[in-house]
A and B are shown apart, each in its own frame.
Chain A
Amino acid sequence: MPGSSQATRTLAAAALALSFAARAAAAPPPPDAGFPAYLLGLGFAPEAAHELERLALAGADDPALADVAATVGARLAREGRPAEAARALRLAAEGAADPVLADQRRLALATVLFRAGAWAQGADVLSRVEAFGTSAGARERARRLLCVGQVLSLQAAPARACVGDLVPPGDARGAQAARMLDRLSIDPERRAVVGGILSGILPGLGQATGGDPLDGGTALLVNGGWEAGSTLLALDGLYVDATLLAVGVGLRYYLGNVHRGAAAWRGAAQRTREAAARELARMVAATPLGSGDGAR
């Protein structure tokens, strides 16, 4: 029956076609940016970032991935999670098809890395934009951000070089910048030695002059107490007791006082440097684009 055979073949072919159609309809969608965007829409930005990284590792080639990664990175940065934001923004920068957009995302990435305290990584990203950026504006912004990073990471020598470049000596803010740079160059360890010596001469003096008068007063009282006690015991002829009090109890407090005097001066120096860095960073950030030697 040739007619029956023909009909069967037709039915089989139809069944196969149906099969492919059913499989195509039922199979899970290929990995794309849809699910991370869905997670982001539900308010799960960290999970969206992880999913984006997973997709990137799996080699997903959805062009929307980079855009979603940029949104996720921005959200994470707003939520105060700079480390996770940096990972998403790195994906966004690497996946951007437009080089101008890629530069913008690298600038955002570097900012987030600075906020995470990853100064070296942020400087690395900015150095690349400064060297290979597509537009002069991007290169200039990168240079300025790099300077802000060097200032905020308290690197006195590079900061002096870049601030001098961005804020020329003839500028009205030059004097103020020079003053801040001098403060940024303070060596906390040298200051600590001074504080220790002061507290060694008079217990509590290092703490009091280092910005902690309460601690200084306590050190003066405690050390004065054991010194007075030792003296009284010695005057009574109780030399063993006096030595025990002086060495067993007093020496420990005396050395602790010297240590705290040093710490007070070190802390004060660090605070001075950080305040100067903040002031300088504000000054550099407020510098108009196109000013300074680098722009020329």
Chain B
Amino acid sequence: MTRSLGFALAWALLPATAVAAPAGSLQLAEQLRALGNPADCAVEALRHAYQVPEEREAGFERAALCLGVAGRHADARRLLLQLPGPLTGRTGYRLCWAQARLDEGPGDACGRVPPGADRWSALATEMAVLHDLRTGRWEDARRRLATAAASDDPTLAAWRAVDAALLARADHRRRRSPWVAGALSAVVPGLGRVYIGRWKDGLMSALLVGLPAGFAAQGFSDAGVRSARGWLLGSLATVLYVGNVYGSAVGAVAADRDADEALRAAADDLHASRADPAE
């Protein structure tokens, strides 16, 4: 009889606790994120926050992560700011992580470690560095890295090393002057494009300008200034020459811009890789 009572009690209580497990929607959210469906991941995380109000912060944090993965950093920030502040721990890190991808950047709270702060606060400081790297504020990033509080956290140490490497890459990139590129192409058509690292374009430009100019010269040589061929091909060569000088100058600006974009893309990749650091 006592055994029957025990079974009844076990049946009564164990399944109830199993049903009460609050992690169902969060687990589903994680699975959806792993499957590459961040939009539904955010909804499931918010469903968890709705169904288990005492775990609202955890639900919002996961939803913000999923929104960030979906590229909706402004929505992630807006969501987290609806929580009563100040945000600490993983949620505080999540806010800084989302803000690092926004133009206004992380707030002051993300740039320094308060006394007695946890690991997440230390990790969050690196988001301010990342924002500086993304927006090309190299000196600010260097200053932040130089004045960062020492930490024995291996994750943070690895992040700082990668950030310093990206900063070094930015320092060593070659800047091209549009004036120099234009002047070189004015002297020798195509040389400006060789200067900006596009030697195939340079060779093509030299041919495109040189051939009509040569034939025009031949026409003038054969028939004097009344040569129609000379005037037509000479006009064509002049247009191509001017276009080549202008194109070389613009190409120098574009090459610098491409280099900046590559650095920005590298910083964005770093941001994505820091979405969910291990505990």
CB-CB under 8 A from A26, the residues of chain B are 16-17, 19-20
* Closest CB in chain A relative to B226 CB, distance in Å: 8
Asked if B225 lies at the interface with its beta carbon under 8 angstroms from chain A, I say no
CB-CB under 8 A from B17, the residues of chain A are 26
Those of B218-251 within 8 Å (CB) of chain A: 223, 227-229, 231-232
Interchain CA distance A114-B125 in the complex, whole Å: 49
Contact A238:B228 (CB < 8 A) given known A12-B4, A35-B47, A35-B50 = yes
Those of B193-234 within 8 Å (CB) of chain A: 223, 227-229, 231-232
Those of A200-214 within 8 Å (CB) of chain B: none
Q: A47-B42, A236-B227 are in contact. List 13 more A-B contacts (CB 8 A).
A: A5-B1, A12-B5, A19-B13, A22-B16, A22-B20, A38-B46, A39-B46, A42-B82, A44-B46, A50-B43, A232-B228, A238-B229, A241-B229
Which of A11, A19, A23, A43 has the most B CB atoms < 10 Å from its CB?
A: A19
Those of A11-64 within 8 Å (CB) of chain B: 11-12, 15-16, 18-19, 22-23, 25-29, 34-35, 38-39, 42-44, 47, 50-51
Q: State the majority secondary structure of interface residues on B.
A: helix
Complex: chain A residue closest to B226, CB-CB: A236
CB-CB under 8 A from A134, the residues of chain B are none
Asked if B34 lies at the interface with its beta carbon under 8 angstroms from chain A, I say no
30 A-B residue contacts at CB 8 Å? Answer: A4-B1, A8-B1, A8-B2, A8-B4, A12-B4, A15-B8, A16-B8, A18-B13, A19-B13, A19-B16, A22-B12, A22-B13, A22-B20, A23-B15, A23-B16, A25-B16, A26-B20, A27-B19, A35-B47, A35-B50, A38-B50, A39-B43, A44-B43, A44-B75, A47-B42, A51-B43, A229-B232, A233-B229, A236-B223, A245-B232
* Closest CB in chain A relative to B9 CB, distance in Å: 5
Interchain CA distance A265-B213 in the complex, whole Å: 40
CB-CB under 8 A from B12, the residues of chain A are 15-16, 18-19, 22
Complex: chain B residue closest to A11, CB-CB: B5
Residues of B within 8 A of A (CB): 1-2, 4-5, 8-9, 11-13, 15-17, 19-20, 24, 39, 42-43, 46-47, 50-51, 75, 78-79, 82, 223, 227-229, 231-232
Number of A-B contacts (CB under 8 A): 82
For chain A, the bracket of interface size reads: 20 to 34
Interchain CA distance A43-B78 in the complex, whole Å: 9
